[in-house]
Structure 1
Amino acid sequence: MESSYCHDITPIISVFLLFLFVLLFSPVFPAKDLKDLRNANTTFHSNKKLTNNTTKKINKPFVKSIKSPDGDIIDCVLIHLQPVFDIPILKATGPLDPPEMPNENKKGGMETEVKQLWNNSNKKHAIGYISDGEFYGAKANLNVWAPNVTRAREFSLSQIWVIADVPTHPLSTFDAGWQVAPTMYGNSSPRLFIFWTNDGYRSGCYNLNCPGFVQTTHEISLGATIYPVSTYNGRQFDIKVLIWKDPIHGNWWLKVGNTVVGYWPVALFPDLNKHATTIQYGGEVYNAQKPGQQHTSTIMGSGHFPAEGYGKASYVRNMEIIDEYNALKPVGDVNLFAEKPKCYDVKNDFDKFWGYYIFFGGPGNNPNCH
């Protein structure tokens, strides 16, 4: 049986997605063992209400169609037919096998499982970051919420940024995490997503909207719904995200939970040929505020400020980076940044189980937010 991936036709704007058959999600407390349920030789991509031009661009013959409980239509396509392999520099390569995983110190603590239901100046951040170093990847657990997004085109997200900021070139970055973007996806559910740019956000791509990421699994759908989500003063859920550089071939790989999703080919990102220069963790809101309007009420994370702590504020925990020896190590004390701390803020701390972590977020528009 030939390997395949599948695509969903769900988001309102053109989207070329991959589907999770089962990637597992579990509460932070109590911890449960991770499960690894694999269905051999299939991957998935989903998409809905595409424009004619986009449909023609990404249309590939599918071998199976599946309807997700949340309404997504999943079309399964042969894995070697992904649009990324239409790029001449990658045409002869085909999908690669996952490389050696980064070395890590095994320690007790909480694990997570994940389940899915089958550029610009107006972006506000609340993040922890490290810079001016040589980084070969990053890892963290991202607390999942379903923040209220109040204006068209706005979104709210939590993610890891892996950035190459070379003085002589525009910035390049790989991003991965979750986002709520109703204009993009058609509803207010949190969605697993990736983003990339190699020209300082002059162009770039979400998920598989255009060639730039190679899918290697049938288990994950980029752009599909994540569930369950955290509740205020209730149970908390998070997803574990790892981005790392293959020490042999140089490609940058993504793993979510127990599943290796695929990779960004380094041939398309020359500034990340050696290493990244900055790692960021935290939240971002796109504020579509027009002149004369109040600041958006789109919330970040849970909508509550970091001072409220666990169960109330959103977090990123067990923040780690990968060094030149392909080893995971604690990120250490991070720098903090928030453009508008009275709207969205961030604070950091350390715990023997959570390692280095941040709480972040806020309600957006309020009497102190200007």
Structure 2
Amino acid sequence: MASRAVLLVVLASSLLLCHERIKGERTLSTNEDIELMRQLKLMNKPAVQTIRTRYGDIYDCVDFYKQSAFDNILLKNHSYHFQMRPSSIPKKMIIEESSIKSVKIGLKRGCPIGTVPVKRTTKEDLLRVKLYRDSHGSKFSRFTREQPGLYHAIVRTNKPNQKYNGALSGINVYNPAVNRQQYSSGQMKVQNGHDQIQIGWTVNPAIYGDNRTRLFTFWQAGQTSCFDTRCPGFIITNRKIPLGSVISPISKPGEEVYLIFVRILRDRLSGNWWCFFGRDNIPIGYWPKSLFSGLAGPASYIDWGGEAFSPPGTRGPEMGSRLYPNHPMAQYHAFSCDIIITNEHYEDIDVVGIEEFTDLRERYGIKDVGFMNRKVRHVAFWGGTG
């Protein structure tokens, strides 16, 4: 697994410095500035249309074939089309509780047919990456669960010989308090060896520059790892739902409960890993099989729950609703529901035989409730004060 912890410390702690450098551009040599401009040109493809959201994000509607994914040399000899879809669309998620509401995210009208929305890269974004690389080299190092500052409150599979072709979950959406050097997420992960794919919501000012709750993905293939589409690999097919989108509204303890529904599925025919969003399983895009070694086949591990990070020696951030999962009322907790796996035969089944795991039980809790009913199915509560 890539050292997201180290990466985020450097990015976040350098954020203020980045602002100063951008304002004055006093620390960049001429050659460095030329190189940054070259990178900006490569990453910001010509736009057919530009969309600015009410949150200030700018998305360029880029010709499907010109998106940065195709800059990856591993994808050069493959055939693609902007109307590509998975070989089959999974059935609609079945949660219908009146007290549980799903959010709607994305661009209202979306990009024109044949184009996809790509978040515009700024010079500040590139400076963050440059500062990281200057300090730690161009490759990401790996970390373990013993890495200080990284905390989990999850339920996870514990049968390494099992094969999984995907997973799905509803995830209760919150906006935990974090500072510039921290992040806090509700997510789901599939993994095989060092290859992994994560999807869910996160509050991550080091990556997104604000404290809003956003839809995110994180993926690692060998020595390559990144969020969303910040490096070539993930192929966008959806015209309306960009990765990194702000999620609204969000849950508040004891009030309305809002969820996102996410699924990761290995396509039966191509072996590509598709990303779906919403109750209706709307395809967003996919990670081609050719990117991976471990995930070139089925996954061997899946987990669901919360993840939080803070620099070593500092107090961890809030996770989920901030409440430890021991309150008697479910609407006060962050939770993952509809915890389901897609097995090696492509059957969606309620997961059994999973285990609870938390790095810091006195601060972050996990409570596996198990199968509750046919509407919310398998549920796990998680969260904590940090």
Q: TM-score range by the shorter chain?
A: 0.7 to 0.9
Match of 1:85, SS state, is helix
Which amino acid is the alignment partner of residue 292 of structure 2? F
Partner of 1:136: 165
State the shift of 1:100 in Å: 3.2
What percent identity do the matched residue pairs reach? Answer: 30
State the shift of 1:99 in Å: 1.9
2:218 and 2:228 in contact (8 A); partners too: yes
2:95 and 2:376 in contact (8 A); partners too: no
State the shift of 1:267 in Å: 0.5
The answer to whether 1:127 aligns with 2:154 is yes
Give 2:372's match in structure 1, choosing from 342, 345, 351.
351
Partner of 2:304: 281
CA distance in 1, matches of 2:262, 2:165: 14
State the shift of 1:74 in Å: 1.8
Match of 1:300, SS state, is coil
Unaligned runs of 5+ in 1: 1-10, 15-50, 166-170, 365-370
Seen in structure 2, the aligned counterparts of structure 1 residues 107 and 208 have a Cα distance that, compared at 3 Å, is closer
* Superposed counterparts of 1:140-155, under 5 Å: 140-150=169-179, 152-155=180-183
Residues 313-364 of structure 1 show CA distances to partners (whole Å, capped at 9, x for unaligned) of 1000010000122221111242110010111110111201211110001010
Partner of 2:187: 159
* Superposed counterparts of 1:193-208, under 5 Å: 193-199=216-222, 203-208=224-229
1:331 and 1:356 in contact (8 A); partners too: yes
Give 2:67's match in structure 1, choosing from 77, 82, 87.
82
State the shift of 1:211 in Å: 0.8
Seen in structure 2, the aligned counterparts of structure 1 residues 336 and 185 have a Cα distance that, compared at 3 Å, is same
* Superposed counterparts of 1:298-313, under 5 Å: 298-308=317-327, 309-313=329-333
Aligned residue pairs, count: 306
Seen in structure 2, the aligned counterparts of structure 1 residues 276 and 148 have a Cα distance that, compared at 3 Å, is same
* Superposed counterparts of 1:51-200, under 5 Å: 52=37, 54-92=39-77, 93-95=79-81, 97-101=84-88, 109-110=96-97, 113-116=102-105, 118=107, 120=143, 121=147, 122-131=149-158, 132=160, 133-150=162-179, 152-165=180-193, 171-199=194-222
Residues 280-317 of structure 1 show CA distances to partners (whole Å, capped at 9, x for unaligned) of 00010011134xxx423x10001101112411110000
Partner of 1:19: none
Give the structure with the larger helix fraction: 2
CA distance in 2, matches of 1:186, 1:299: 18
- With 232-241 and 178-187 compared, the bigger mean Cα shift is at 178-187
Q: Using structure 1 for the length normalisation, give the TM-score.
A: 0.77
Seen in structure 2, the aligned counterparts of structure 1 residues 351 and 197 have a Cα distance that, compared at 3 Å, is same
Match of 2:346, SS state, is coil
Seen in structure 2, the aligned counterparts of structure 1 residues 229 and 184 have a Cα distance that, compared at 3 Å, is same
Seen in structure 2, the aligned counterparts of structure 1 residues 90 and 112 have a Cα distance that, compared at 3 Å, is farther
CA distance in 2, matches of 1:149, 1:173: 25
Which amino acid is the alignment partner of residue 272 of structure 2? N
The answer to whether 1:237 aligns with 2:222 is no
Partner of 1:46: none
Q: Using structure 2 for the length normalisation, give the TM-score.
A: 0.74
State the shift of 1:263 in Å: 0.5
1:85 and 1:94 in contact (8 A); partners too: no
